[in-house]
Structure 1
């Protein structure tokens, strides 16, 4: 393992700064005076660092920009591109730590994907994502403070040489507003406000985060770090089967909309379908027959909830599809399961990877 360099006048930390666009690199538009408007992904990562007084001279910087987008436009190919960049930097003996700037719209999608697909043994260096809720030239821009905060956290981890023999001691997750959240626990809590990512698993971004590690550990339904790492080569930037995999979400509200959507899926036969049902995943009775047909036709079904918090475990009022919990069913490979504690976006990503793993193993 490489030696971590503390920050001294003679030896500066070697920090890779990976920019991908987002609001943090955005600028206000001409309409901003009358309507709060901006264009994301307008600045390079190097310009963001240079815009923070004194930061450029505090490290040996290595800049990369694999793409530059508003993160609402994130595609599965982008996820693979960024994964390949991070694996290369994690392997490089010329890099001590990594900061990634990313749009907040799909921050949790990216971090959860990396949680599931970056092998745990590779995480021997701090990897911190950060972003902003306001564009770079807003009078209250939070991006510079978040970049500086992530950098200070990295310096603390490197200068204290925090158990470098144990990869789990190195932070991998989101650093915003002075708080650190592990990658698999990141969720956007609000569409507005600088504290949009302050959640129940966020802790102060300092070396004391290690003391809170047990409380931050994943539950079984969050998936294991690197669980699906073997699905992709370290340098892969495309995977046609992964990118073509369809996992729709059917959101249940009163009316015939959910039933029609599920019926349409019988013709498409997606890889899996996530049903966002009311309450504790209580799927309407009218939807049960078509869900049974989907399962018999090889389409897995995940019972989730449209409620933000609480999750869905086995039990409660709904048991109509319990016979499909074990595959194979009539020679197929579809299974019925619950989302556990995963929100809808993470549930979709987990299912996409789970079904891909099964397809490649057959």
Structure 2
């Protein structure tokens, strides 16, 4: 009996030895067919942890590293060959211009490599829309770039990070996402970086493009696109950050009932090269703020009229004579996104007519 068992074990070992090369070859062939997706981690709630499984507010962001994020979603290994990098580890309210430049340069380097088919960037939700739009203007590739986050920390009972990450990897690895600009994948939806905004403080459906709408859905891991953004982006923009070490100072002055000129004067005194005025309604200029904005322009500060409303076109020469004041109208960009475009515009020119062209182009 003992001899029979030994012979059976030896036969099984020999069979495994003979089959191993074929099995490895099959695995290698499967991997070769999968897209190569790099995950760049920056921190945020998707990398956050809470005191308990029911903690969905009051957690600590940016505590989980990129490898742990990847290991928490083993299913992504079935849809892409994954590599991960920890670019930085911060809560996104601390995202600065220097982070954007570092991230953009790394994205462009990776997308220039033949063995990278797409990139996923994990990010906190507070400034996710701003990072996405900045990348939308400076990435120099048609390969998919997908920004993803979560509204609940990784330790929560109903954490949305894992499924969001799985969907983002599927999207970044899909040829159908190429050439569509930087995308945001959240809550089974696909959004264009230019149009999306965070619309709720805590709910998982927070990312929305209320008037212009999402560009598609992700269902069963597959992206479905229904519309495209017509504004130029990525390879079709005139912006190049490869040699930039800093961005011009551009600030936002917020309008409200009884607002004065203190904020505008303070921002100009602090060295602002550009100001975005988040006006009421159609970008109206309150009587007590208007002289300070005019004075700022006379000092060479470029002024963009935006609106705090969040939707709709700020009409040029509508609530103010922009031609006479030499101001720029923000079109449909939110104040925070108008700031991004103005920063990049100022790396090219200070001519307001040319900057207005950019606001109608991007």
- State the shift of 1:9 in Å: 6.5
Unpaired stretches in structure 1, ≥5 consecutive residues: 1-6, 326-335
Judged with a 3 Å threshold, the aligned counterparts in structure 2 of structure 1 residues 140 and 34 are, in CA distance, closer, same or farther, namely closer
**3-state DSSP of counterpart to 2:119:** strand
For residues 280 and 357 of structure 1, the distance between their equivalents in structure 2, rounded to whole angstroms, comes to: 28
Corresponding position: 1:283 with 2:285: yes
Superimposed CA distance per residue, residues 86-138 of structure 1 (whole angstroms, 9 cap, x where no aligned partner): 1111111122222211111111111111111123xx22x22222110000010
For residues 120 and 335 of structure 2, the distance between their equivalents in structure 1, rounded to whole angstroms, comes to: 27
Corresponding position: 1:86 with 2:107: yes
For residues 112 and 11 of structure 1, the distance between their equivalents in structure 2, rounded to whole angstroms, comes to: 31
Judged with a 3 Å threshold, the aligned counterparts in structure 2 of structure 1 residues 149 and 298 are, in CA distance, closer, same or farther, namely same
- State the shift of 1:35 in Å: 8.7
Aligned partners of 1:26 and 1:38 also within 8 Å: yes
For residues 317 and 86 of structure 2, the distance between their equivalents in structure 1, rounded to whole angstroms, comes to: 47
Paired residues in the alignment total 318
Judged with a 3 Å threshold, the aligned counterparts in structure 2 of structure 1 residues 176 and 74 are, in CA distance, closer, same or farther, namely same
For residues 55 and 88 of structure 2, the distance between their equivalents in structure 1, rounded to whole angstroms, comes to: 31
- State the shift of 1:357 in Å: 1.4
Judged with a 3 Å threshold, the aligned counterparts in structure 2 of structure 1 residues 33 and 182 are, in CA distance, closer, same or farther, namely closer
TM-align CA RMSD: 2.7
Aligned partners of 2:41 and 2:86 also within 8 Å: yes
Aligned partners of 1:21 and 1:41 also within 8 Å: yes
Corresponding position: 1:353 with 2:344: yes
331, 340, 350: which one pairs with 1:340? 331
Map 1:48-67 → 2, pairs under 5 A:
48-67=69-88
- State the shift of 1:290 in Å: 2.5
For residues 55 and 46 of structure 2, the distance between their equivalents in structure 1, rounded to whole angstroms, comes to: 21
Map 1:135-284 → 2, pairs under 5 A:
135-155=153-173, 157-158=174-175, 162=176, 168=179, 172-199=182-209, 200-202=212-214, 203-205=216-218, 206-209=222-225, 211-213=226-228, 216-218=229-231, 224-226=233-235, 230-233=239-242, 239-240=245-246, 242=247, 245-255=248-258, 257-284=259-286
Larger Rg: 2
Superimposed CA distance per residue, residues 119-166 of structure 1 (whole angstroms, 9 cap, x where no aligned partner): 3xx22x2222211000001001000010112233345x24xxx49xxx
TM-score calculated relative to the size of structure 2: 0.79
- State the shift of 1:347 in Å: 0.7
Judged with a 3 Å threshold, the aligned counterparts in structure 2 of structure 1 residues 67 and 246 are, in CA distance, closer, same or farther, namely same
5, 18, 42: which one pairs with 2:40? 18
Aligned partners of 2:133 and 2:182 also within 8 Å: no
For residues 59 and 35 of structure 1, the distance between their equivalents in structure 2, rounded to whole angstroms, comes to: 30
Map 1:58-137 → 2, pairs under 5 A:
58-119=79-140, 122-123=141-142, 125-137=143-155
- State the shift of 1:181 in Å: 0.9
**3-state DSSP of counterpart to 2:165:** helix
**3-state DSSP of counterpart to 1:316:** coil
**3-state DSSP of counterpart to 2:185:** strand
Show the counterpart of 1:329. Answer: none
For residues 80 and 136 of structure 1, the distance between their equivalents in structure 2, rounded to whole angstroms, comes to: 27
For residues 145 and 33 of structure 1, the distance between their equivalents in structure 2, rounded to whole angstroms, comes to: 18
- State the shift of 1:45 in Å: 1.6
Judged with a 3 Å threshold, the aligned counterparts in structure 2 of structure 1 residues 212 and 289 are, in CA distance, closer, same or farther, namely closer
Judged with a 3 Å threshold, the aligned counterparts in structure 2 of structure 1 residues 352 and 99 are, in CA distance, closer, same or farther, namely same
Aligned partners of 1:269 and 1:299 also within 8 Å: no
Unpaired stretches in structure 2, ≥5 consecutive residues: 1-28, 355-362
TM-score calculated relative to the size of structure 1: 0.79
Q: 83-92 or 194-203: which moved more?
A: 194-203
Superimposed CA distance per residue, residues 272-296 of structure 1 (whole angstroms, 9 cap, x where no aligned partner): 1122222111212233333222211
For residues 233 and 56 of structure 2, the distance between their equivalents in structure 1, rounded to whole angstroms, comes to: 44
Superimposed CA distance per residue, residues 221-273 of structure 1 (whole angstroms, 9 cap, x where no aligned partner): xx64356654422xx5x613x1xx22222212233x43122333454452111
